[in-house]
Structure 1
Amino acid sequence: MIVPHLHDVAGCAVTLPEDLVTLLGQVRERLDRLWLQDDAARGYAVVLRSYGELQAIVAESGPEAARALAREQEESMLAVAEALGTTEEAARARLLHYEYLGR
């Protein structure tokens, strides 16, 4: 069995909408700046609270998205892996992680 190089697989991943890429980049930049503020303890607390909010968003929609993707692509984990830009093994693990995240 030929295992595709991860770079090749990532090139097949679904493209995120440009506005979402921009928004995620802004969130990342803002969180990075919080690390550098004068009141470091407060910055760290804000970063951790922000991560908690992001985790809550994922926990709300991740399980259903994972189940739906698994249902639609049940015959081909390779298609799921390509859409996620990863290997089949990593895609399977990611789907399981998100599917059971809310339980």
Structure 2
Amino acid sequence: MTSRARDLALGLALLLLAALYAWWFRSDRHLPAVLLVFVAPPLLLLAGVALQRAPARFWAGVLALFWFSHGVMSAWVHRDALLYAGIEIVLSLSIVALVSVPGMRARFAKKRSP
């Protein structure tokens, strides 16, 4: 997978995550707070990934761990939100995988003999 394809997949996952949160919490009485806490971070990271900023990829991976934890907690506690939580878990794991590709590739690459 090229870095361009990886960035496109990462951007799509971030966009889908922001859309998921916007749909999931659409009728919440604290909608401005939901938009600020849940929807804005993936969209800001999407902008950073689109501008090819390495820190955006790093922070997407870090925040994906929180998103994963939120999804597991929501699936465990709120059975009525199980579908949304499951999608959140899948998207967060895909974000972690996508930002980890370069490091994993470097770690397991065959070493050249001198």
The interval holding the TM-score normalised by the smaller chain is 0.3 to 0.5
The alignment's TM-score, normalised by the length of structure 2, stands at: 0.38
User: Which structure is higher in helix share?
Assistant: 2
The alignment's TM-score, normalised by the length of structure 1, stands at: 0.41
